[in-house]
Amino acid sequence: MIAKPNWFNRRKYTGWGLMPKAWQGVVYVVIIVAVIVFIQNLALDETLKMILTGIWAIFVLIDVLQVMASIKLDEREQKIEAIAERNASWTMVASTALVILYITTIGKELKGAELIPALIFPIAAGVIVKGLSNFILDKQGV
């Protein structure tokens, strides 16, 4: 679509997604953010702003997924990525189970702002484990 695979690298240590490696990638990210800021500053109904932002987010997601699928990894990078993704997945499953166990143990229904840490903890744990896995496997020369 718009973005090109040679503008980006895969994220190794900071979660999932892409990191700009060329000036075009940086401009692409700036334009994405600028459009969101522009939409939010329009004198429109909040519902319409939300709809426009959602449409823009879907467009960007499709474009980014296309780029992510097009980035070529060598055999070693594919192996490291697969192991790191596996480690992150199991960590998020275990973290989610711990959060559920904690919530049921305290016997309290979490609502609103109380729920946010329970949702963020498994994702943050997965990001940390994925980054560490990539780092360690890179250093080991797997």
Looking at the structure, tell me whether residues 29 and 80 fall in a common domain: no
Give the model's pLDDT for residue 107.
75
pTM for the model stands at 0.71
Q: What is the pLDDT of residue 14?
A: 76
Q: How many domains does the chain have?
A: 2
What pLDDT score does 3 carry?
86
If asked whether residues 96 and 63 sit together in one domain, one would say: no
Range of the domain at 36: 5-70
Per-residue pLDDT at 141: 77
Residues 84 and 55 in one domain: no
Question: Given 48, 70, 92, which residue is the final one in a domain?
Answer: 70
106 and 66 inside one domain: no
pLDDT of residue 112: 78
DSSP strands (E only) in the chain: 8-10, 18-20
Distance CA 74, CA 18 (A): 17
- Scanning the chain, the segments in alpha helix (DSSP H) are 23-41, 46-70, 75-106, 115-140
Query: For 70-88, what is each residue's pLDDT tens digit?
Result: 888 888 888 988 999 999 9
Domain end among 23, 41, 70: 70
Encoded tokens for 133 = 């896995």
Q: State the pLDDT at residue 50.
A: 93
State the pLDDT at residue 40. Answer: 92
Joined together, the tokens standing for residue 4 give: 């090109």
Positions of the chain with pLDDT under 50: none
- State whether 56 and 81 are in the same domain: no
